[in-house]
Amino acid sequence: MKSQHRWLERGQGEPVVLLHGLMGQMHHWDDVLDELGGACRAMAPTLPIFDPGCLEPSIDLLARWVVDFLDALEIPRAVIGGNSLGGHVALATALAFPERVRAVILTGSSGLFERSFTRGVPHRPTADYLREKMEEVFFDRTLVTPEWVESVRCTLIERASVRRVLGFARAAKRDNLEARLVDLAAPTLIVWGAEDRITPLDVGRRFHALIPGSRLVILAGCGHAPMLEHPRAFAGIVRRWLAAERLQGGATVGAGVPR
C-alpha cells in the first residue's frame, strides 16, 4: 500500500519500531524513545489510520504497512512493539511476516478482548464526552489535559475521521488472535498496567498463557498506556529484556511474572 511515512527516531543499532494505538500518535512514545536511544535504534511511526488513501480499514492492512515502512528504511528485520491497537498490529505483523520480526513487545494490546474507546461514540463527540473516555485510559487522570482533549476533538470533528476510527475498532474486534498465538515464534515481552481498564490485566495474563515462552511484567499504579504514565520504567523493562534476549542468542527470554 502507498502511504507517506512519518516517524520519530532516536539512537543507533538494533531497530525497534513502536506503534501507537487507535487514538494515539507517534509523539506518545517520545519519552520512551529518549530512554531507549542509547541502547538501540528506536522509532515510532504514525500509523495511517486517518489516511484517506488507505483502503478498507483492517489489521492486515496495517501489518502490510509496517512491512512497507521497514522496506522504505531498508530494515530487513526489527523488534516490533505497540500499545493497544499498535500491539495488535505488531502481533499481526509477526504472524504474517515472521521473517521480518525478530521480537514482539506488547502493552495494553487488543487482539483478544477490548473494552473499546469507541463504544457508543457520537458522530460529533463533545469535549466532555472525550475527557471522560480519555480519563478511563489512565490510572493518573491528571494526564488528560484540556489541550489534549481539544486536540482529539479536532481530529474527530470530521465525520470521515470518525468513520475511520470506528472502522479500525471494528476490524480489531473481528481479528481475534487467540487461535493463532500458539504459532507466534518471535520472543515476546508483555508489559501491562495493573489498573488497565481498557484491556484489563486478565487480558495480559491470557496473552502470556497463549504465547509460547513469553514474559509478562506488571506495572503497579498504571493504566492502559505505560509509555505515557511510566515511560522510564517501561523503557528500562524493554532495555533489560532485549539485552537478556540477545545474550541467549535470540532465544526466548522465558516465562515469568515479575511484580
Task: Please write the tens of the pLDDT for every residue from 138-153.
Answer: 999 999 999 999 988 8
The answer to whether residue 196 is catalytic is yes
Which residues, at least 6 apart from 57, have a Cβ–Cβ distance to it below 8 Å? Answer: 49, 164, 167, 168, 170, 171
Residue 3 has pLDDT above 50, yes or no: yes
Cβ neighbours of 11 (radius 10 Å) = 18
202 touches 118 (CB < 8 A): no
In a domain, residue 139? The reply is no
Per-residue pLDDT reduced to its tens digit, 150-177: 988 887 877 677 777 777 888 888 889 9
User: Per residue in 181-232, pLDDT tens?
Assistant: 999 999 999 999 999 999 999 999 999 999 999 999 999 999 999 999 999 9
Domain range holding 46? Answer: 7-117+172-247
Based on the structure, what is the number of domains in the chain? 1
Instruction: Output the nine-digit C-alpha cell for 69.
Output: 515502512
d(C-alpha 233, C-alpha 47), whole Å: 25
Pick the catalytic residue: 28, 175, 196, 214? 196
Q: Is the pLDDT of residue 257 over 50?
A: no
From residue 55, alpha-carbon distances to 71, 77, 91, 189 in Å are 20, 26, 21, 31
Q: Does residue 111 belong to any structural domain of this protein?
A: yes
**Has residue 62 been placed in a domain?**
yes
Distances (CA, A) of 237 to 1, 82, 149: 34, 14, 30
- pLDDT tens string 18-39: 999 988 899 999 999 999 999 9
Active-site residue, selected from the candidate residues 28, 88, 224, 230: 224
Q: Is residue 143 part of a domain?
A: no
- What is the grid cell recorded at 25? 500518535
Annotated catalytic residue: which of 28, 58, 84, 230? 84
Q: Kindly report, residue by residue over 47-104, the tens digit of the pLDDT.
A: 998 776 666 788 999 999 999 999 999 999 999 999 999 999 999 999 999 999 999 9
224 given a catalytic annotation: yes
Residue 177 lies in a domain: yes
* CATH number for position 41: 3.40.50.1820
Q: Do residues 40 and 14 touch, judged by C-beta distance below 8 A? A: yes
Domain assignment present for 189: yes
d(CA 48, CA 85): 12
30, part of any domain? yes
Active site residue 230: no
Evaluate whether residue 254 is within a structural domain.
Answer: no
Q: 193 has which bridge partners? A: 219
Q: Count other Cβ atoms within 10 Å, centred on residue 258.
A: 8
Q: Which of 89, 93, 96 has its CA nearest to residue 48?
A: 89
